[in-house]
């Protein structure tokens, strides 16, 4: 397989660190302005230089999205903003507006300019025109087939790169330019505020019978008439490379750290030469609609609503620099957990003893009174803190030490299989 860049979403600092930990070559992110995912944590301008420095220190590039629909007020601020991004050390900007491209080239010449998929670039004439304006990478329209991308590659300059989405949500609107959210909720998708009404369940109401709903399809689930399948191209990375794709992109800047870690980990292993069959099951552990291959080999297909963001696994802890684990969801002695660690197969073990690193302000008398813990003594890692042996870790975002049969690395993830819980929307 020809080397391709693995580009991962970083909706916030935690996602950025996990993307890099699990093998992303680059991340794409946004500040609070000009990004298409306002629901993501995003980065403040004051936070961005440190985030970029972290990425660079770990060998990863940073691409900043500046691809919302631009007003004159936006454009007036862009010279300042692009200069700031260049000074902060960003490697590239992902832009769709022609005026924004011109401004970036003029005021921030060190920034690479990547054309956003929002521009719907599908032909070589368009790509060459953008190239002449200073664009050095085309994020191709998601509606392109693999054959069309290969033909585009043959017709454009060798130093004009191609980036393509390979995993994540598909939008029912052409290149994501949807007006439904704005119409129904007043929150515009083209400025980053999409409420995803295409994924709502719809039924008919006849005007003379208010409150009486008629399913669009003949069952009791209503109809997800605008909801597509999600994309999964893990098994087709060789074909993307052969078509001339330089960078494969994972969708999901509104997703949490577990999603980023799991998906990046799977794609990293396959890009490094492992068989896709060995990692397809990993992608089932994250929240998703039914899979498809996008438009690469035909139509992506419609989600009939039989599975709407199903997930049976839950991230229960992440490993801290100290070697302790930070509780994210409840776990107990005897629970079987799986460990995600870079460069390793998924490993499983049963949790042995659990020791809570109680903070100085913790009410240990109450713990002892209820019999939920045994105080072992002072915590040498925290002045005033105590070590408390417990059977259950249920204090979210507090530290615990656990007994494991092999070493755990900082930022490794522990997850538990919990099919009995409705986890689909809790990523």
Instruction: Report pLDDT for 218.
Output: 46
CA–CA separation, 314 and 330 (whole Å): 10
pLDDT at position 183 over 80? no
Query: In the block, which residue shows the tokens 């994020």?
Result: 139
Q: Which CATH number fits domain 5-170+231-292: 3.40.47.10, 1.10.940.10, 3.20.20.60, 3.30.1490.20?
A: 3.20.20.60
Q: Hey, what are 236's tokens? A: 């087709």
pLDDT at position 232 over 80? yes
- What's this model's pTM, rounded to 2 decimal places? 0.86
Q: Residues of CATH 3.20.20.60 domain(s) within the chain?
A: 5-170+231-292
Instruction: Report pLDDT for 410.
Output: 95
Helix (H, G, I), strand (E, B) or coil at 188: coil
Instruction: Report pLDDT for 36.
Output: 57
pLDDT at position 301 over 50? yes
Instruction: Report pLDDT for 32.
Output: 82
Q: Residues of CATH 2.40.30.10 domain(s) within the chain?
A: 313-417
Question: Which homologous superfamily does the CATH classification assign to the domain defined by 313-417?
Answer: Translation factors (2.40.30.10)
Express each pLDDT in 409-427 by its tens digit.
Answer: 999 999 999 886 654 443 3
Burial pattern 340-362, b for ≥16 Cβ within 10 A else e, equals bbbeeebeebebeebbbbbeeeb
pLDDT at position 299 over 80? no
CA–CA separation, 418 and 427 (whole Å): 14
Residues 170-187, mean pLDDT to the nearest whole number: 60
Confidence class of residue 51 from pLDDT cuts 50, 70 and 90?
very high
CA–CA separation, 76 and 20 (whole Å): 34
Say if CB 333 and CB 353 are below 8 A apart.
Answer: yes
Express each pLDDT in 360-405 by its tens digit.
Answer: 999 998 888 888 899 999 999 999 999 999 999 999 999 999 999 9
* DSSP track, 14-48: HHHHHHHHTT-SEEEE-BSSS-S-TTS--B-TTTH
* Radius of gyration from C-alpha coordinates of the chain: 24
Instruction: Report pLDDT for 179.
Output: 59
């Amino acid at each position: 397989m020809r080397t391709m860049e693995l580009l991962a979403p970083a909706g916030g600092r935690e996602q950025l660190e996990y993307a890099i930990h699990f093998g992303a070559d680059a991340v794409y992110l946004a500040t609070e302005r000009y990004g298409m995912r306002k629901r993501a944590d995003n980065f403040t301008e004051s936070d961005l230089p440190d985030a970029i420095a972290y990425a660079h220190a770990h060998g990863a590039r940073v691409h900043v999205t500046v691809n919302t629909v631009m007003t004159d007020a936006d454009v007036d601020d862009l010279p300042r903003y692009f200069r700031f991004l260049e000074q902060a050390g960003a490697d590239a900007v992902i832009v769709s507006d022609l005026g924004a491209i011109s401004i970036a080239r003029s005021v921030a010449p060190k920034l690479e300019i990547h054309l956003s998929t929002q521009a719907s670039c599908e032909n070589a004439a368009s790509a060459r025109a953008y190239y002449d304006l200073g664009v050095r990478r085309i994020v191709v329209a998601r509606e392109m087939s693999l054959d069309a991308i290969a033909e585009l590659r043959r017709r454009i300059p060798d130093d004009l790169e191609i980036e393509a989405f390979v995993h994540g949500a598909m939008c029912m609107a052409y290149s994501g330019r949807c007006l439904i959210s704005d119409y129904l909720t007043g929150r515009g998708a083209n400025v980053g505020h999409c409420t995803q009404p295409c994924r709502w369940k719809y039924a008919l109401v006849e005007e003379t019978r208010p409150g009486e709903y008629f399913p669009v399809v003949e069952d009791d689930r209503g109809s997800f008439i605008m909801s597509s399948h999600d994309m999964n191209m893990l098994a087709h990375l060789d074909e993307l490379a052969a078509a001339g794709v330089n960078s494969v992109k994972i969708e999901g800047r509104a997703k949490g750290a577990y999603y980023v870690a799991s998906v990046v980990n799977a794609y990293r292993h396959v890009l490094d030469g492992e068989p896709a069959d060995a990692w397809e099951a990993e992608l089932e552990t994250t929240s998703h609609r039914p899979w498809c291959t996008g438009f690469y080999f035909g139509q992506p297909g419609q989600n009939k609503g039989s599975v709407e963001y199903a997930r049976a696994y839950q991230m229960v802890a992440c490993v801290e620099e100290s070697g302790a684990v930070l509780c994210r969801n409840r776990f107990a002695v005897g629970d079987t957990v799986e460990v995600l660690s870079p460069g390793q197969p998924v490993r499983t073990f049963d949790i042995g003893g659990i020791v809570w690193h109680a903070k100085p302000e913790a009410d240990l008398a109450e713990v002892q009174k209820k019999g939920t813990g045994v105080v072992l003594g002072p915590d040498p890692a925290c002045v005033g803190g105590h070590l408390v042996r417990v059977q259950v870790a249920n204090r979210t975002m507090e530290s615990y030490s656990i007994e494991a049969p092999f070493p755990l690395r900082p930022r490794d993830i522990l997850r538990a299989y919990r099919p009995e819980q409705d986890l689909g929307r809790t990523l």
